[in-house]
């Protein structure tokens, strides 16, 4: 590891992140293949729609486990807004939408990241619950008429997560160069950290939790 790089994520954090991300992508792929007749050809790799459904269902189980692990791990830091600093960040949109001279300093996660996390957490739970009853309709307690709404809610949840996922992908790569390294190697440059999360950098320095590479590994 290059000398001076700073560690910002653990191996466990990266494992949960990629478990969630990959299962989410696979669910989008299989879900689209079943939802639209024009995309039924996506089931070719699974031997048809039946195989696509089986893959979708069991990937949903993996997604549910990853989601619960993510909520347990990140809720305290990414699930709660802190005022007034988060409100000040919102007023400038974090500098993402227009140029600002100074963006309000936030902690480990800025309000935009918190919004993404809460969206994935809440709508992910919606997708898991509705998906369960779509898989086992006989377990649904409110009758056939209400069950039809489960399909609508599942489709709505998909649209929300699908949109937020690609916004997250853009901001984690092209939109903010260097960000993706936090979830690949776990290490980022001091310059990136000082620009993106200056308050968190100060907190780690103050608490003595800052891990800096000496370049020997």
**Domain layout of the chain by residue ranges:** 12-185
**Confidence at residue 24, expressed as pLDDT on a 0 to 100 scale:** 94
Instruction: Give the pLDDT band (50/70/90) at residue 97.
Output: low
Compare 100 and 82 and report the one with higher pLDDT.
82
**Confidence at residue 56, expressed as pLDDT on a 0 to 100 scale:** 95
- Give the E-state strand segments of the chain in sequence order: 6-7, 187-188
What is the rounded distance in angstroms from the CA atom of residue 39 to the CA atom of residue 33? 5
What is the rounded distance in angstroms from the CA atom of residue 132 to the CA atom of residue 147? 12
Which range among 14-28, 62-76, 85-99, 146-160 shows the weakest confidence by mean pLDDT? 85-99
Average pLDDT over residues 156-178: 87
Which has the closest alpha carbon to 124: 154, 151, 149?
Answer: 154
- Residue 195 burial class via C-beta count within 10 angstroms: exposed 0-12, middle 13-18, buried 19 and up: middle
Instruction: Residues 12-185: name the CATH superfamily.
Output: Transmembrane di-heme cytochromes, Chain C (1.20.950.20)
Tell me if 1 sits within 8 A of 213, measured CB to CB.
yes
Strands 6-7 and 187-188: antiparallel
Kindly state the tokens that stand for 121: 């957490």
Average pLDDT over residues 106-135: 93
pLDDT above 80 (res 102): no
Phi and psi at residue 102, to the nearest 5°: -145, 125
What is the rounded distance in angstroms from the CA atom of residue 167 to the CA atom of residue 169? 5
């Amino acid at each position: 590891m290059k000398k001076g790089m700073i560690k910002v994520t653990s191996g466990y954090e990266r494992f949960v992140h990629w478990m969630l991300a990959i299962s989410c992508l696979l669910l989008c792929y299989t879900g689209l293949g079943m939802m639209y007749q024009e995309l039924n050809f996506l089931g070719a790799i699974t031997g048809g729609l039946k195989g696509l459904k089986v893959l979708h269902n069991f990937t949903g189980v993996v997604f549910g486990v990853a989601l619960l692990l993510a909520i347990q791990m990140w809720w305290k830091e990414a699930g709660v807004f802190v005022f007034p600093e988060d409100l000040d960040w919102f007023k400038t949109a974090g500098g993402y939408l227009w140029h600002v001279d100074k963006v309000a300093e936030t902690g480990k996660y800025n309000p935009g990241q918190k919004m993404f996390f809460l969206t994935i957490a809440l709508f992910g739970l919606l997708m898991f619950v509705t998906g369960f009853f779509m898989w086992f309709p006989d377990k649904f307690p409110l009758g056939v008429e209400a069950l039809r709404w489960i399909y609508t809610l599942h489709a709505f949840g998909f649209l929300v997560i699908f949109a937020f996922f690609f916004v997250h992908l853009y901001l984690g790569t092209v939109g903010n160069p260097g960000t993706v390294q936090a979830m690949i190697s776990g290490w980022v440059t001091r310059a990136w950290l000082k620009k993106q999360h200056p308050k968190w950098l100060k907190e780690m320095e103050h608490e003595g939790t800052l891990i800096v590479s000496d370049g020997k590994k």
